[in-house]
Amino acid sequence: MSTYFISDIHGCYKELKLLLKKSGFNSQKDFLWIAGDLVSRGPDSLKVLRYLYSFKSRVKIVLGNHDINLIAIFSGIKKNKKENFFDELLVSKDSSELINWLRCQSLLKIDKNRKIIMVHAGISPQLDIDTLQNYALNIEEFLSNDNYALFLEAMYSNSIVFWESKLNRLDRLRYSINVLTRMRYCYPDGRLNMFYKQSPNFIKYPLQPWFLNQQKSPKNYSIFFGHWSSLKGTPIPQEFFSLDGGCCWGGELKMLRWEDKKWFVQSFLIK
């Protein structure tokens, strides 16, 4: 039994199948950990979801911002856009089954035995991991209940970027979802910047990648994340594993096998 880590599949179904075949992944024996953004931008989100659902007991998922966007569109609180490539998925006969399965997934995975953390965007520079996990569980509870649309309608905010004791419960959840699914850069005091997406090569101090501001990060853990394809070539501390190879942008889908730390890569296929 092996454990594989991947992220930001973004509807790249053909590349996913080729990568899993290349690695020797066995859906009956192995586990596939996915750090979010299974859907959107690529052409085959429906096929990706159907395929992963077919061996769902061997898949561990944390939601990314594009997965939550799909759930919001499905619920009717956001409009679908052409660049999502969701048309086929939204009208499919199994759309409810697949999206309801997706919205019951986690936002943060922690394996204390193997000292592994998986998240889509990052972990907070201001909160210890136990506090962040508590709020991640709160968000999961809201997303998985019948009133999830009301929660999502209130959840989107670019203004909640700093953790303060005076924040009300809703704003604490807003901050947490921004950290877990959208964060890239922060300031030295931990304040998030929700707008810059470029490579750190083009960003100057005081902005810094979130993984360089981790005073409260748990020690001796390996932290897997996606969400940031422009990190390619950027030096990253060895305990962090960046999984987003930008496949949907013409880059690569990449995957790590945990047991021997071997990387597997599949380049984007020209359609």
- The pLDDT tens digits of the residues spanning 62-84 come to 999 999 999 999 999 999 999 99
Residue 194: per-residue pLDDT: 93
**Looking at residues 224-238, what average pLDDT do you find?**
94
Helices within the chain (DSSP H only): 13-23, 45-53, 65-75, 87-91, 95-103, 129-144, 148-155, 169-181
**Looking at residues 124-153, what average pLDDT do you find?**
95
Beta bridge partners of 140: none
Q: Which domain CATH number covers 20?
A: 3.60.21.10
Q: Is the pLDDT of residue 233 over 90?
A: no
pTM for the whole structure: 0.97
Residue 174 contacts residue 167 (beta carbons within 8 Å):
no
Q: What is the pLDDT of residues 156-199, one digit of tens each?
A: 999 999 999 999 999 999 999 999 999 999 999 999 999 999 99
Query: Where does the pLDDT of residue 232 fall: very low under 50, low under 70, confident under 90, or very high at 90 and above?
Result: confident
Residue 218: per-residue pLDDT: 83
Q: Is the pLDDT of residue 214 over 90?
A: no
| Overall number of domains in the chain | 1
Q: What is the pLDDT of residues 251-260, one digit of tens each?
A: 999 999 999 9
What is the rounded distance in angstroms from the CA atom of residue 241 to the CA atom of residue 225?
A: 6
Residue 217: per-residue pLDDT: 75
Q: At what angle do helices 169-181 and 129-144 cross, to 10 degrees?
A: 100
What is the rounded distance in angstroms from the CA atom of residue 197 to the CA atom of residue 194?
A: 8
| DSSP class of 268 | P
Buried b (16+ CB within 10 A) or exposed e, 2-23: bbbbbbbbbbbbbbbbbbbeeb
Lowest pLDDT segment from 43-47, 48-52, 128-132, 223-227 = 128-132
Task: Note down the domain range covering 20.
Answer: 3-267
What is the rounded distance in angstroms from the CA atom of residue 269 to the CA atom of residue 12?
A: 9
Q: Quickly count helices (H) and strands (E) in the chain.
A: 8, 12
Query: Where does the pLDDT of residue 271 fall: very low under 50, low under 70, confident under 90, or very high at 90 and above?
Result: low
Residue 190 contacts residue 217 (beta carbons within 8 Å):
no
Q: Across all residues in the chain, what is the average pLDDT?
A: 95
Residue 215: per-residue pLDDT: 65
Instruction: Return the percentage of the chain with pLDDT > 90, whole number.
Output: 93
Residue 183 contacts residue 122 (beta carbons within 8 Å):
yes
